[in-house]
Amino acid sequence: MDIEGIIESIGLLLVLLNPFLIIVYLIDIVKKKSRELFLKILIRAGVISFFAFSMFALLGDSIFKDVFNASFASFQIFGGIVFLITGLQFIFKGGASIETLRGESKHVAGAIAMPIFIGPGTISYSVIIGEQLDKISAVVAIAITLILCIFIIYVLKWIHDKIQSTKEELIEQYIDIAGRVIAFLLGTISIELIMNGTGFWLARIL
């Protein structure tokens, strides 16, 4: 087992997941749910994400060619469009837009997993992890990353609950500023994904 490779993969995948940004998108759930229920929702989302990331790590980009008869570029374009819509919704509507995008609360675990955990960036890197590490190491790296991500988000939820009554205005300001910054970053990433996918298709045509 490649310990050094696992540690490096954990670090990079955790940066892509970025629990400090995820908490902004989950703020309506953070406010409404108890810590116990919030943790259960996160664990369910984590399990869904684990199986998705592991599948892409084990099968690689062949899953697009052999299973879906499509190219990875098509996934990049579609994922970029999803990210772009999410970013635009947040810029114009604020945090309430994320609740609308996720749909009904009974489906919240799956909606957190996709597209908040499972996105074009994290899926792409899952494919890379599967290419760089042996299969067992890749799955271990993904599992540890998701556990760390869920733990950090839960700690942030705990901090929120502790200071909400006395620092509510400060929390709202952080959410508003951070959320709009994230929206611009998402928009930038989405355009990059769309351009990369389009570039691939143009290269094939020309």
d(CA 129, CA 17): 14
Q: pLDDT at position 18, please?
A: 76
| Mean of pLDDT values over 66-74 | 74
Name the 3-class secondary structure at 133: coil
pLDDT tens track for 161-170: 887 766 666 7
Q: What percent of the chain has pLDDT over 70?
A: 80
Give DSSP secondary structure letters for 38-63: HHHHHHHHHHHHHHHHHHHHHHTTHI
Q: CB within 8 A of 174, min separation 6: which ones?
A: none
> What is the C-alpha to C-alpha distance for residues 178 and 116, in angstroms, rounded to an integer?
16
- pTM attached to this predicted model: 0.74
Q: Which residue has the higher pLDDT, 111 or 61?
A: 61
Q: What is the pLDDT of residues 134-169, one digit of tens each?
A: 989 999 999 999 999 999 999 988 888 887 766 666
- What's the rounded Cα separation, in Å, for the pair 77 and 192? 9
Looking at residue 167, its pLDDT comes to 66
Region 77-106 average pLDDT: 66
**51 alpha carbon, distance to own chain's centre:** 14
| Confidence (pLDDT) at 108 | 63
